[in-house]
């Protein structure tokens, strides 16, 4: 799968799923913009890993729910790297696990802002660039949380539901411009966020203790998600648009109720 000559922006790409996606797209030949909000060290480390493997990447700071931040970031990427042809909206934050009655409005605004408004802002900004290219791809990293809408997670679930609604709309609006828009929905993944969630809910320190109860004998890994993204943005994907792919080993119905990244 060759992405030579294409520019990719991956949000929240310093760690976890975003980092795996950024590295994978760079291996396939894309020049990658590694977005981060606060953890510059991790973002620089991801860039260094890509460059050490012969790829091209640069780190860009910006909070995706801040329109001024992302407007400036997209303009800077355009100057440095060229028109963005691949956008992976991965940046995410967890909610605090409280009931609707106990959830503060500020938390709701923050979580929905990151998961829904951030992808909207970035899609709005990059689509005009993509229309000028031979092809464009937008991938949203959602969650199997939207399969069941469990209790005590309304900000996260609402943000992801809105994000997915955006995909279905864009798929109908932009396919005539050769832009494909799709969703990848992970289950529990072995990331910092996943570890914190499981520890808070069950006290388990090591996610690999859950391997035996997971599909194919292991907790989902960041590379499992990255490989799905690689396919969706590659030339192998000629006709997949407006789809939601759950990369959960087929086990969402029976896996433990840790439906987040």
For residue 187, the tally of other CB atoms under 10 A from its CB is: 27
pLDDT (mean) for 83-87: 98
Is the predicted pLDDT of residue 48 greater than 60, yes or no? yes
Mean pLDDT of the residues in the chain:
94
Is the predicted pLDDT of residue 253 greater than 60, yes or no? no
Task: Supply the residues annotated as catalytic.
Answer: 156
Q: Which of 22-26, 33-37, 84-88, 253-257 has the lowest mean pLDDT?
A: 253-257
Domain 7-246: homologous superfamily in CATH: NAD(P)-binding Rossmann-like Domain (3.40.50.720)
**Three-class HEC string of 175-232:** HHHCEEEEEEECCCECCHHHHHHHHHHHCCCCHHHHHHHCHHHCCECHHHHHHHHHHH
Is the predicted pLDDT of residue 235 greater than 60, yes or no? yes
Contact between residue 111 and residue 220 where contact means Cβ atoms under 8 Å apart: no
Is the predicted pLDDT of residue 184 greater than 60, yes or no? yes
Is the predicted pLDDT of residue 163 greater than 60, yes or no? yes
pLDDT (mean) for 123-140: 98
Contact between residue 87 and residue 137 where contact means Cβ atoms under 8 Å apart: yes
Is the predicted pLDDT of residue 96 greater than 50, yes or no? yes
Q: Angle 90-70-97 (CA atoms, 0-180°, nearest 5)? A: 45
Which residues contact residue 93 at a Cβ distance below 8 angstroms, ignoring those fewer than 6 apart?
A: 110, 111, 114, 115
Is the predicted pLDDT of residue 259 greater than 60, yes or no? no
- CA–CA separation, 14 vs 91, rounded Å? 10
At 99 the pLDDT is 97
Q: Angle 100-103-107 (CA atoms, 0-180°, nearest 5)? A: 130
Q: What distances in angstroms separate CA 213 from CA 164, 220, 237, 247, one per listed residue? A: 28, 12, 32, 16
pLDDT (mean) for 226-239: 98
Contact between residue 89 and residue 138 where contact means Cβ atoms under 8 Å apart: yes
Is the predicted pLDDT of residue 136 greater than 90, yes or no? yes
């Amino acid at each position: 799968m060759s992405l030579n000559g294409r520019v990719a922006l991956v949000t929240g790409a310093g760690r976890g799923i975003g980092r795996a996606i950024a590295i994978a797209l760079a291996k396939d030949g894309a020049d990658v913009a590694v977005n981060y909000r606060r953890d510059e060290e991790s973002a620089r480390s991801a860039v260094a890993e890509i460059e050490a493997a012969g790829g091209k990447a640069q780190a860009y700071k910006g909070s995706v729910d801040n329109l001024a931040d992302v407007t400036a970031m997209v303009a800077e990427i355009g100057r440095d790297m060229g028109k963005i042809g691949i956008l992976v909206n991965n940046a995410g934050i967890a909610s605090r696990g409280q009931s609707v009655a106990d959830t503060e409005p500020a938390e709701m605004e923050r979580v929905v802002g990151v998961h829904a408004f951030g992808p909207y802002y970035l899609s709005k900004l990059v689509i005009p660039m993509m229309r000028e290219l031979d092809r464009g791809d937008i991938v949203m990293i959602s969650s199997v949380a939207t399969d069941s809408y469990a209790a005590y997670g309304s900000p996260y679930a609402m943000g992801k539901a809105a994000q997915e609604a955006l995909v279905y709309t864009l798929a109908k609006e932009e396919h005539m411009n050769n832009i494909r828009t799709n969703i990848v929905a992970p289950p529990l993944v072995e990331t910092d966020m996943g570890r914190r969630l499981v520890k808070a809910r069950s006290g388990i320190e090591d996610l690999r203790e859950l391997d035996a109860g997971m599909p194919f004998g292991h907790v989902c890994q960041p590379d499992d998600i990255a490989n799905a993204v690689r396919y969706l943005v590659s030339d192998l994907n000629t006709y997949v648009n407006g789809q939601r792919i759950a990369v959960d080993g087929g086990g969402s119905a029976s896996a433990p109720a840790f439906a987040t990244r």
